[in-house]
Amino acid sequence: MTSDRNDRNVIWFDGYVKREERNKKYGHKSGVVWLTGLSASGKSTIAHHLEKKLFEEGVKVYAFDGDNIRHGLNSDLGFSPEDRRENLRRIAEVAKLFVDAGIIVLAAFVSPFKKDRELVKSRFSKDEFIEVYVKCPPEVCELRDPKGLYKKARQGLIKGYTGVDAPYEEPENPDLVIDTTKLSVPEAVDLLYDYIKKRGWLEA
Amino acid sequence: MTSDRNDRNVIWFDGYVKREERNKKYGHKSGVVWLTGLSASGKSTIAHHLEKKLFEEGVKVYAFDGDNIRHGLNSDLGFSPEDRRENLRRIAEVAKLFVDAGIIVLAAFVSPFKKDRELVKSRFSKDEFIEVYVKCPPEVCELRDPKGLYKKARQGLIKGYTGVDAPYEEPENPDLVIDTTKLSVPEAVDLLYDYIKKRGWLEA
């Protein structure tokens, strides 16, 4: 790809509605809750149930997950390490726009590589980012396998599948660990809800 | 870029909060108002003033413009025809997410090529997309030149600048034309506001 115009010609436009005004009007802070974990660990399920709970309480919230993003914005990307990185870079930038728009983003992505998660995290300040490790052993995820993808990966029909023939690097210092072999979905949702509340995000 | 995994393995996740529920809760519809026109035609100014007006009325609204998107999501793209196309493709996909989240998007982009605008439009239904042509002759835009970019383009310091050495294809059938040589900013904002209202977007 070519760039005909120099970066210095692009001037940031501050806009007339500030994020702080949105936070005040909506009655809560905005930020990103990033759920990382293996496929079938329960990330998306927790994210979407929490989305519903928060929405019903009047919180402006939106859940991203690997599947709906990969159908549109990132439909040009595959699952090689480079494409996974670009996938996450773009997601982080879109999440920034939502956070600027006053919205709490629940982002559920396998995001298996530590350095890619660090790249995402680096785009946000500490008080607007929560890293959640949705923990579940690969053998349990593989038993769940709701989309039959582990099976396909074992058969060699999918290559580079995290937990089968591609690594997952566990977070070393996540803000919260949710062990989905020990908690039910409602318990996991409540745990995360309480943590977000404790962090002060549910007030302006 | 390589794709190791087949598209059919990506399953759309419907989520638990439907767009219709958001529209109902927020008291208005969601959709995209796309403002196309030359640099310095007044697109961003109109978008950001309208954003403020709608925000103050309680509408969930967010303005995108070329500059803030190009700093983040599309910082890897330049201004060649291919990059302009990819720039707009991604913007359309991000706008889709915002619309799904119940938000009215005000998108101000030069978007000089008809086929690229058609690509954007094709991602939305007729009742969720408004095309606005912000009309201003190139010689007037060049006199305004708030960022000094026309001057740089004339000096050859910027190549492929729309209105100088790259074409702008006028929309043939926009929903609304705003002639910024005839209307003040408040008049332009009111015109667009009234049009959005007439289209029924400001009620659920």
CATH number of the domain where residue B82 is located: 3.40.50.300
The predicted structure's pLDDT at residue B8: 42
* CB-nearest partner of B1 from A82, A93, A158: A82
Range of the domain at A45: 19-198
pLDDT in tens, B28-41: 999 999 999 999 99
pTM here is 0.91
- Is pLDDT at A180 greater than 90 in this prediction? yes
Q: Which of B30, B39, B44, B111 is catalytic?
A: B111
Flag whether A7 is in a domain. no
Task: Supply the pLDDT for residue B103.
Answer: 98
Structure tokens at B142: 């060049």
Residue A98: inside a domain, yes or no? yes
Cβ-defined contact of A3 to B90 (cutoff 8 Å): no
B131-141: average pLDDT: 97
pLDDT of residue B7: 43
Confidence of residue A3 (pLDDT cuts 50, 70, 90): very low
Closest Cβ–Cβ partner in B78, B86, B123 for A3: B78
Q: Is B202 exposed, middle or buried (0-12, 13-18, 19+ CB in 10 A)?
A: middle
The pLDDT of residue A68 is 75
Based on the residue annotation, tell me whether B111 is a catalytic residue of this protein.
Answer: yes
**Residue A71, pLDDT score:** 87
Residue B27 lies in a domain: yes
pLDDT tens digits, A121-170: 999 999 999 999 999 999 999 999 988 999 999 999 999 999 999 999 99
Whether A1 has a pLDDT exceeding 80, the answer reads no
| Binding-face residues of B in 107-136 toward A, CB within 8 A | 123
Does some domain include residue A2? no
pLDDT above 90 for B26: yes
Long-range contacts at A18-25 (CB < 8 A, ≥ 24 apart): A19/A99, A19/A100, A19/A101, A19/A102, A21/B55, A22/A101, A22/A102, A22/B55, A23/A102, A23/A204, A24/A204, A25/A102, A25/B55, A25/B58
Mean pLDDT over A159-188 rounds to 95
With beta carbons under 8 A apart, name residues in chain A contacting B94: 73, 94, 97
Are the Cβ atoms of B49 and A21 closer than 8 angstroms? no
ipTM: 0.91
Residue A121: its pLDDT value, please?
97
A49 shares contact with chain B (CB less than 8 Å): yes
- Taking only the tens place, the pLDDT of each residue in A13-69 is 455 899 999 999 999 999 999 999 999 999 999 999 999 999 999 999 999 987 779
Tell me if B1 is assigned to some domain: no
pLDDT given for residue A5 in this prediction: 39
A12 belongs to a structural domain: no
Which B-chain residues 72-111 have CB contacts (< 8 A) with chain A? 72-73, 75-80, 82-83, 86, 90, 93-94, 96-98, 100-101, 103
State whether A13 and B51 contact (CB < 8 Å).
no
User: Is B178 inside any structural domain?
Assistant: yes
> With 80 as the cut, is the pLDDT of residue B9 above it?
no
Instruction: Please compute the mean of the pLDDT values over residues A67-78 and round it to a whole number.
Output: 88
- Both tokens assigned to A127: 């008080």
> Which tens digits make up the pLDDT trace of A99-118?
999 999 999 999 999 999 99
* Count of domains for chain B: 1
Contact flag A72-B97 (C-beta cutoff 8 Å): yes
Q: Do A1 and B77 touch (CB under 8 A)?
A: yes
